[in-house]
Structure 1
Amino acid sequence: MDRIYDKVFRGIAFTSKSPQEVSALEDYLFCLDEEGVIRRILKPQDPDYGTVMAAYSGTEKLHALAEGQYFLPGFIDLHIHAPQWAQAGTAMDIPLHDWLDTYTFPLESKFSDLDFARKVYQDLVTTLLANGTTTALYFATVHKEASYLLAQICADKGQRGLVGKVVMDDKSENPEYYRDESTEAALADTESFIHLVQELNETTKQGVYPVVTPRFIPSCTDEALAGLGELAKKYDTHIQSHCSESDWEHNYVLDRMHKSDTFALHEMGLLQDKAVMAHAVFLSDADADLFAETGTAIAHCPVSNVCFSNGVLPAARFTRKGIDIGLGTDISGGFSPSLFDNIRQAVISSRMLEEGVDPSLPSAERGLPQSRISANEAFYYATAGGGQSLSLPIGRLEENYIWDVQVIDVSAPNAKLPLFDENISMEDLLHKILFLSRPDNIREVWVQGECVHKRT
């Protein structure tokens, strides 16, 4: 044994090798340094396996799973509207534009009250950790102080948070009671927010990151979009927005910009390797090629797409084009804080896209061929795909990746999974976990080598 490890974990783990293939690492040792990074992985056949076990057995540094427990990488949620947690499950049956004006903008305007913001954000981050989400990409609100508060709460609770102060500066498109005071103020507040979060990151083990966040093209002036692109380049920040989300939003941009969201955002400097665009349901082939060329990722939000996006993301086709894809809950366009629910819906929606939904059409004309994704692919999106989308060493259980994991207990009280085949394959076991797990099955959650949630 050539070094001293801060922690050693032992158990069966699942991790994606590719979008289609998952590895089951049976009874492996995962050896961590003080920074929570996996520095060595040992399988039982390795010569040093027994040496490490002998050195750490009986110490507090060894964390061995009990029978019926398994490691999964922590989930990476690429699209959350943090203030909307307060309205989750509300008004899921009205058009997007009406939903924003009637429910969402009035709610988000309340986050000028920091006491209210703290109450909502603390509950949200705690809930997401309990659902296995170790990294979250957040839209906050137009309020710089409340947005920074969300970053502080992520830092305090141990979640890796990427937080954006939302920009909405177009006075003709946003309500007077909820928008940036001016384009100049929006850009100045964004730059100040970047400095604040970068400073906070210096003392946060798991990392918190500022994100340049134009809400979407309909809410922003051209000047703001271009200015945000310049800020992202100046400070090398992540970028997030919405892209070709619904018929209304997609057509609005075509009418105003005379080009698609994709090409308009690209001209403003907002497509790049650290950019994540939510939904992207209506990308043309040329749009998709530009996503692949620039390294821009898609936050696939399968639950919310059913309610608000007027379409199904052709995830399989975009994956074949080489586009990075991760999953997003899109709280509260998506009602559930669980990426388990979105894994399931991603598979279901892809089958509906492939097979079609109009029974009056012949089967050969009803769907879009080669659109289905497997459970393995959906698992990849929620883990490795999310890490790839954010250009961070997360989402995989591999050497030099960060130890972000959830411990799944298939024998949890009141949540026992129906496992009656003693010879079940590891892949079938994983699929049962993905389709049947509930929060009660998530026994522990670790971020950057620190336990941040424990169910007793």
Structure 2
Amino acid sequence: MDKIVKIIKGTGFSSITAQEIEIMEDYLYCIDEKGMIKKRLAPSDKQYNLFLQEAKALDTLVELKKGQYLLPGFIDLHIHAPQWGQSGTALDIPLHEWLNTYTFPLESKFKDSVFAEKVYSHLVDTLLAHGTTTGLYFATIHEEASYQLAEICARKGQRGLVGKIVMDDLEQNPDYYCDKDTQIALEDTERFIKRVKALQPEIKQGVYPVVIPRFVPSCTDRALKGLGELAAAYDVHVTSHCSESDWEHGYVKNRFGKNDAQVLNDFGLLTDKSVMAHCNFLSDADALTFKEQGTAIAHCPISNAYFANSVIPIKKFHDLGVEVGLGTDLSGGYDPSIYSAIRQAIISARMLEDGVDTKKSPAERSDKEPSRITAKEAFYFATAGGGESLSLPIGRLAENYAFDAQVIDTTIAHASMPIFEDSEPLEDTFQKLLYLTKRENITSVWVQGEKIRK
């Protein structure tokens, strides 16, 4: 038991592939001092009882109770952190009006560090309470507030990937909220990268700087080129929006004569550390570019229903070999819970396959390709797929992965689940966890082997 500092005993679920889950009944998860799963033991393993008894003797055993289950921590690949203050607001108006009436005025307030601390602290606490152990965050154009968000993730124990956004095109952005000078925006971004990297040696779970052009329409060519160069020079993650809506997709095509994905690739912004949100209008050639570059899609099914003008054929893109994870897209998506994103991903994919226009016959109404995804696939996107998208060893309850986990209690009095038979197949229980878990059911959250929420 050398270097093992904690053992968790319980029944857990983890993805093997997008189509297959592991059901680990009464397993031991042996965690080392770095917070990694060093060993995983089934009751049938010869060492199981030895490890169990020694953990009891050393008081390093955490044992789940009857009715409690272990899931990997969720990975949210698309969060607009400053928009948390407007979550659930005005989603019934057009995107352009929503941005200019609510979003940009709110984001401009983050020049105030006191306000930023209040919003960002509340957000990170909320996400952790919903089982989100890793978040990929858009901050604002303000370097200091963006750095505050990285510090808050570090302090509260969440794995955070944070970027100061760049939006320097004076014709496309409001005059009260934009980078007034491209060179200064790039210099601020470079300094931000260095500052967050300086935090890394102190942070067990990891905090990472991210290069973020808000999206192609908000940036000049010079900014896009400079951001691509910074991403390469510092080997950091990149995120942005890509072909989200009819307007964005059409604007980029009119400006450059090619699709959003190809423009981002030309500027060096599609890499194996890149995650692009939405991507509803990718062509097959765009998807192939994503696959070749190792770039992932952050699938945001709730916000897509409000603002994307379409349903993304996510199964098709994943089957083509593109990495896929899930995002809440706060606050274009109103709910901070990835559980809701899982459910909506399944619903949206089914509606795409079956069609929605009742004036057409079923054959005419439906998508021409199989588009529906299963609960297992949506769970994969929320966990293992998210980890692969970020090129990090997270998202699985497996050896050599970080122990990021959430404990789900199905017996909470005011949020109990309809599990009445001890003989119920665990695969059925797994599905109930995905569809019925509420915030109250998540009784503890672990990140990198550290329990950070009771």
Matched, 1:422 2:422: yes
The 5 Å alignment of 1:386-401 reads 386-401=386-401
Which amino acid in the other structure matches residue 418 of structure 1?
A: P
Q: Distance in 2 between matches of 1:357 and 1:59?
A: 59
Q: Secondary structure at the match of 1:67?
A: coil
The 5 Å alignment of 1:8-27 reads 8-27=7-26
The 5 Å alignment of 1:6-45 reads 6-45=5-44
Q: Secondary structure at the match of 2:133?
A: strand
Matched, 1:264 2:266: no
Q: Distance in 1 between matches of 2:169 and 2:212?
A: 14
Q: Secondary structure at the match of 2:397?
A: coil
Cα distance, 1:421 vs structure 2: 3.1
In structure 1, the partner of 2:447 is: 447
Cα distance, 1:60 vs structure 2: 3.1
The 5 Å alignment of 1:78-93 reads 78-93=77-92
Deviations 1:413-454 (A, max 9, x none): 200001123322121111001001100000100000111111
Matched, 1:324 2:323: yes
Call closer, same or farther: CA 1:217–1:4 in 2, change over 3 Å. closer
Q: Distance in 1 between matches of 2:65 and 2:422?
A: 17
In structure 1, the partner of 2:378 is: 378
Which amino acid in the other structure matches residue 109 of structure 2?
A: K
Q: Distance in 2 between matches of 1:132 and 1:183?
A: 38
Q: Secondary structure at the match of 1:232?
A: helix
Deviations 1:59-89 (A, max 9, x none): 4311110000011000000000000000000
Q: Distance in 1 between matches of 2:201 and 2:107?
A: 29
Q: Secondary structure at the match of 1:282?
A: coil
Deviations 1:287-332 (A, max 9, x none): 1111111110000000000001111111110111011000000000
The 5 Å alignment of 1:285-434 reads 285-368=284-367, 369-434=369-434
RMSD: 0.8
Cα distance, 1:54 vs structure 2: 1.3
Contact 2:3–2:33 under 8 Å retained in 1: no
Deviations 1:359-380 (A, max 9, x none): 0011001121300000000000
Give the length in aligned residue pairs. Answer: 453
Q: Which runs of at least 4 in structure 1 moved beyond 3 Å after TM superposition?
A: none
Which amino acid in the other structure matches residue 419 of structure 1?
A: I
Normalising by structure 2, we get a TM-score of 0.99
In structure 2, the partner of 1:54 is: 53
Q: Secondary structure at the match of 1:333?
A: coil
Cα distance, 1:58 vs structure 2: 4.6
Q: Distance in 1 between matches of 2:157 and 2:324?
A: 25
Which amino acid in the other structure matches residue 171 of structure 1?
A: L
Q: Distance in 2 between matches of 1:257 and 1:103?
A: 29
Q: Which runs of 5+ in 1 are unaligned?
A: none
Deviations 1:382-407 (A, max 9, x none): 00000000000000011110000000
Contact 2:296–2:322 under 8 Å retained in 1: yes
Q: Distance in 2 between matches of 1:343 and 1:322?
A: 20
Which amino acid in the other structure matches residue 381 of structure 1?
A: F
Q: Distance in 2 between matches of 1:71 and 1:242?
A: 33
Q: Distance in 1 between matches of 2:254 and 2:282?
A: 16
Percent sequence identity over aligned pairs: 60
In structure 2, the partner of 1:118 is: 117
Contact 2:139–2:164 under 8 Å retained in 1: yes
The 5 Å alignment of 1:189-228 reads 189-228=188-227
